[in-house]
Structure 1
Amino acid sequence: MRLVHLDLKGAAPKVSYLEEVFPLLSQLGANGILIEYEDMFPFKGELETLRSPYAYSEEDIERIQQLAEQHKLEVVPLVQTFGHVEFILKHKKYQHLREVERFPNSFNPHVPNTLTLLKSILAQVIEKHRRSSWIHIGADEVFHLGEGTDSKNWMSRNKGDVGTMYLRHIKEVLGFLTAQYWGLRALMWDDMLRKISVGALRGTVALVARACPAPGPFLTKYAESGFEAVWFASAFKGTTGPAQTWTPLSYHLKNHLSWLKVMQALPQLAPLRFQGIVLTGWQRYDHYSVLCELLPVGIPSLAICLQTLVNGGFTEEAKRKVLDVLGLESVQLEQSTCEGRGAFPGVEIYHMVEQVNGHLKENILKTLEEESAIRGWFSPYHRKHRFGNPRNMESFGSKVLKLHEDWESFVRDLRAQLERVYFPDTVEEWMEENVNPYLDQLRDLVRDYR
Structure 2
Amino acid sequence: MTPQRKIHLLRLVVLFILAVALIKYFRRPRPPQVIQAVKAHKSEEFFWGAAKASSENENRDLPPEPPKEEKVEVSVKTQQNGGQLPRKDFSNVQMKLVHLDLKGAAPKLSYFEQIFPLLSKLGANGLLIEYEDMFPFTGELEVLRSPHAYSESDIKNILHLAEINKLEVVPLVQTFGHMEFVLKHDKFRGLREMEQYPNSLNPHNADSLPLVKMILSQVLDQHPTSSWIHIGADEVYHLGEGQDSKAWLNSNKGDLGKMFLTYIQEVVAFLHSKYPDKQQLMWDDMLRKLSVASIQGSGISQHVSPVLWIYSPHLNIEQTETLISKYQESGFKSIWFASAFKGASTADQMWTPMSLHVKNHQQWKTVIDSMKSKFTRIRYAGIALTGWQRYDHYSVLCELLPVSIPSLAVCLEVLQHGDFNEKVRKETASLLGFKAIDIETNTCDGNGAFPGAEIYSLVQKIHKDLKQKVQELLEGDEEIRGWFSRYHRKHRFGNPHKMEKFSSKLLKAHEEWESLTQSLRTQLESIYFPDTVEEWMEENVNPHLDLLREVVRDFQEILKLNAQPKAQSKK
TM-score, length of structure 2 as denominator length:
0.78
Q: 1:318 offset after TM fit, Å?
A: 2.8
Match of 1:158 in 2: 252
2:402, 2:185 → 1: CA distance?
32
Shift of 1:83: 0.4
CA distance in 2, matches of 1:286, 1:313: 33
Q: CA deviation at 1:411?
A: 0.9
Contact 1:83/1:140 (CA < 8 Å) preserved in 2? Answer: yes
Correspondence 1:297-336 to 2 at 5 A: 297-336=403-442
Corresponding residue for 2:387?
281
After TM superposition, give the deviation of residue 265 of structure 1 in Å: 2.2
Counterpart-to-counterpart distance in 2, 1:329 and 1:56: 37
Q: 1:223 aligns with which of 320, 328, 332?
A: 328
CA distance in 2, matches of 1:385, 1:441: 17
1:266 to 371, 374, 398: 371
Question: Contact 2:174–2:231 (CA<8 Å) still a contact in 1?
Answer: yes
One-letter identity of the residue aligned with 1:4 = V
Residue 419 of structure 1 is matched in structure 2 by 525
Which of 505, 508, 523 lines up with 1:402 in the alignment? 508
Residue type matched to 1:136 in 2?
A: H
Paired residue for 2:493? 387
Q: Secondary structure at the match of 1:256?
A: helix
Structure 1 residue 235 corresponds to structure 2 residue 335: no
In 2, are the aligned partners of 1:36 and 1:77 still within 8 Å (CA)? yes
Structure 2 equivalent of residue 253 of structure 1: 358
1:106 and 2:200 aligned: yes
1:69-127 per-position Cα deviation (integer Å, ceiling 9, x unaligned): 00000000000000011111111111110001110000000001010100110010001
Contact 1:328 1:342 in 2 (8 A): yes
1:317 and 1:384 mapped to 2: Cα distance? 59
Runs (4+) of structure 1 moved beyond 4 Å? Answer: none
1:210 aligns with: 310
* Equivalence for 1:74: 168
Is the counterpart of residue 370 in structure 1 residue 476 in structure 2? yes
Compare 262-271 and 133-142 and name the one that shifted more: 262-271
DSSP 3-state at the match of 2:346: coil
Which residue of the partner structure matches residue 78 of structure 2?
none
Residue ranges of structure 2 left out of the alignment (5+ in a row) = 1-94, 557-571
Query: Structure 2 CA distance, aligned partners of 1:194 and 1:321?
Result: 39
235-244 vs 210-219, which deviates more? 210-219
- AA aligned to 1:145 is L
Alignment: residue pair count: 450
Q: CA deviation at 1:61?
A: 0.5
| Distance (whole Å) between structure 1 residues aligned to residue 257 and residue 152 of structure 2 | 38
Report the equivalent of 2:551: 445
Distance across 1 between alignment mates of 2:194 and 2:378:
37
Instruction: State the shift of 1:210 in Å.
Output: 2.7
2:112 to 18, 27, 32: 18
- Note the C-alpha offset of 1:392: 1.0
Deviations 1:1-55 (A, max 9, x none): 1000000010001010010100000001000000000000011111111011111
Structure-2 separation of matches of 1:119 and 1:388: 68
Q: What secondary structure, in the 3-state scheme, does the structure 2 residue paired with 1:207 have?
A: strand
- What is the deviation of 1:160? 4.1
Q: Which amino acid aligns with 1:49?
A: V
Distance 2:188 2:161 in 1: 34
Shift of 1:192: 0.4
Partner Cα separation in structure 1 for residue 234 and residue 277 of structure 2: 24
Give the letter aligned to residue 250 of structure 1: S
Match in the other structure for 2:134: 40
Question: Identity, % of aligned pairs?
Answer: 60
Which residue is equivalent to 2:240?
146
Whether 2:450 is the aligned partner of 1:350: answer no
- Structure with the bigger RCO (C-alpha within 8 Å, sep 6+) is 1
Deviates more, 1:320-329 or 1:364-373: 320-329
**What letter corresponds to residue 213 of structure 2 in structure 1?**
K
SS at match of 1:231: strand
Counterpart CA distance in 2 for 1:351 and 1:151 is 51
Which residue does the alignment assign to 1:60? Answer: 154
Larger deviation: 159-168 or 202-211? Answer: 202-211
Asked if the contact 1:308–1:315 (Cα under 8 Å) also holds between the matched residues in 2, the reply is: no
**3-state SS of the aligned residue for 2:396?**
coil
Paired residue for 2:65? none
Q: CA shift at 1:264, angstroms? A: 2.0
Amino acid at match of 2:499: M
Report the structure number with the largest CA radius of gyration.
2
Cα separation, 1, equivalents of 2:504 and 2:422: 50
| Deviation sequence 1:188-234 (CA, Å, 0-9, x none) | 10000001000111233311113475311111111111111100001
CA distance in 1, matches of 2:494, 2:423: 63
Q: What residue number does 1:121 align with?
A: 215
Secondary structure at 2:338 match in 1: strand
SS at match of 1:278: strand
Alignment partners' CA distance in 1, 2:475 and 2:422 = 46
Cα distance, 1:449 vs structure 2? 0.7
Superposition RMSD in Å: 1.0
Mapped to 1, the partners of 2:307 and 2:491 lie a distance apart of 63
Q: Counterpart of 1:81 in 2: which secondary structure?
A: coil
Q: CA deviation at 1:389?
A: 0.9
Which letter does structure 2 place at the counterpart of 1:372?
E
Counterpart AA for 1:263: I
Secondary structure of 1:77's partner?
strand
Instruction: Give the letter aligned to residue 215 of structure 1.
Output: T
Contact 2:426 2:436 in 1 (8 A): no
Cα distance in 1 between the residues matched to 2:521 and 2:210: 42
Which one has the bigger helix percentage? Answer: 1
Structure 2: distance between partners of 1:162 and 1:83: 15
